[in-house]
């Protein structure tokens, strides 16, 4: 079966594109790729975009952009989805051009989140290299690992995990089952990866949430950039969700900050890359080894 290479881009609906542009460039260290009244495209590397914000009132995630290395792999994957009775549609030219890819298909998962499948991403011109004046350590960790990861809330965790693994073909990395870190809330999280091995590109759990998206994680190449970003967050008085800490499963050192849309950004360094030939799926009993102290009440 053809497999997804990586999570290449993420699409959001946002009510305040100006606030997102200021937050993304002035706090996170991203670069604007393209901006209009209806959309904001953000760069993390040599790609034309990695994060896409479309103007609207939902302030939530819209789509995950899964990438394939070749047109043949994409075609075989779409055929496989249809054989497993997944309703897959080919995108029209307008959507394909908006995503800046050569071919594009999509389906919808049990929580109503769209999954887009593509190959042939558009690169930025050599005359316009990615540059962030805020990052000191080599930029963001993207490349074949993709944009980062998302954690989405499931209505029915078993149904979602079954769809993501049996239908989409994601591989389970591990589990976190934690009933004590957040008072009154038991976490039963499932973490899943793609062929290229970022510890998880997608995670889910049945948690109370008004939004589909709990958080997006973006990773930097240098630990100093985590500390510098945390200082920028504090100086700008942006609400911190969880302070700096360390996760046991992906070994990410990170903090969580509130975005203009209300969901979280995890800003991290040091994540594991999985080699499936030497990987053992484990179950962890705590969200964090240390730190990650809640600065906002968990309900927020």
Residue 163: domain span? 143-291
Number of independent structural domains in the chain: 2
Asked, for residue 200, whether it belongs to a domain, the answer is: yes
- Do both 74 and 168 map to the same domain? no
Predicted pLDDT of residue 295: 86
Predicted pLDDT of residue 297: 58
**Paired residues of 103 in beta bridges:** 119
For the chain, list residues with pLDDT below 70.
Answer: 296-300
- Do both 148 and 53 map to the same domain? no
Check: CB of residue 154 under 8 Å from CB of residue 190. Answer: no
Asked, for residue 137, whether it belongs to a domain, the answer is: no
Predicted pLDDT of residue 184: 76
Asked, for residue 300, whether it belongs to a domain, the answer is: no
Here the tokens at position 1 are 């079966």
Largest distance between two CA atoms of the chain: 53
Predicted pLDDT of residue 14: 98
Q: Which helix (H) or strand (E) holds 231?
A: helix 223-236
Check: CB of residue 141 under 8 Å from CB of residue 56. Answer: no
CATH of the domain at 89: 3.10.180.10
- The 114-119 sheet, strands edge to edge: 31-35, 39-43, 51-55, 6-14, 60-67, 114-119, 103-108, 89-90
Predicted pLDDT of residue 1: 74
DSSP for 138-169, written as a single string? S-BS-GGG-S-EEEEE-SSHHHHHHIIIIIS-
Asked, for residue 106, whether it belongs to a domain, the answer is: yes
Q: pTM score, two decimals? A: 0.96
The residue to which tokens 């990170």 are assigned:
254
Cα angle, residue 163 at apex, residues 159 and 164 outer, rounded to 5°: 120
Asked, for residue 151, whether it belongs to a domain, the answer is: yes
Predicted pLDDT of residue 180: 83
**145 to each of 50, 142, 248, 289, how far by Cα in Å?**
12, 5, 20, 24
Q: Which helix (H) or strand (E) holds 241?
A: strand 240-246
Rg of the Cα atoms in the chain:
18
Length, in residues, of the chain: 300
- Do both 17 and 150 map to the same domain? no
């Amino acid at each position: 079966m053809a497999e997804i290479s990586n999570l290449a881009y993420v699409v959001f609906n946002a009510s305040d594109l100006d606030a997102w542009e200021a937050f993304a460039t002035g706090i996170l260290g991203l670069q604007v790729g393209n901006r209009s009244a209806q959309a904001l495209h953000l760069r993390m590397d040599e790609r034309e975009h990695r994060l896409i914000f479309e103007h609207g009132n939902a302030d939530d995630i819209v789509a995950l952009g899964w990438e394939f290395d070749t047109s043949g792999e994409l075609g075989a994957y779409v055929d496989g989805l249809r054989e497993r009775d997944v309703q897959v549609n080919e995108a029209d030219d307008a959507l394909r051009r908006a995503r800046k890819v050569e071919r594009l298909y999509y389906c919808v998962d049990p929580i109503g989140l769209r999954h887009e499948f593509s190959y042939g991403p558009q690169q930025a011109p050599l005359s316009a290299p990615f540059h962030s004046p805020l990052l000191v350590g080599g930029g963001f960790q993207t490349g074949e690992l993709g944009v980062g990861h998302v954690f989405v809330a499931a209505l029915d965790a078993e149904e979602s995990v079954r769809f993501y693994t049996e239908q989409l073909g994601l591989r389970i990395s591990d589990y976190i089952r934690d009933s004590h870190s957040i008072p009154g809330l038991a976490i039963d999280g499932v973490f899943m990866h793609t062929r290229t091995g970022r510890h998880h590109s997608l995670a889910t759990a049945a948690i109370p949430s008004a939004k589909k998206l709990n958080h997006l994680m973006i990773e930097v190449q240098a630990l100093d950039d985590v500390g510098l970003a945390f200082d920028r967050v504090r100086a700008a008085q942006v609400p911190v969700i969880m302070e700096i800490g360390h996760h046991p499963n992906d070994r990410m050192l990170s903090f969580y900050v509130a975005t203009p849309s209300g969901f979280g950004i995890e800003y991290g360094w040091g994540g594991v890359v999985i080699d499936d030939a030497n990987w053992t799926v484990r179950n962890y009993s705590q969200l964090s080894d240390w730190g990650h102290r809640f600065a906002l009440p968990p309900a927020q």
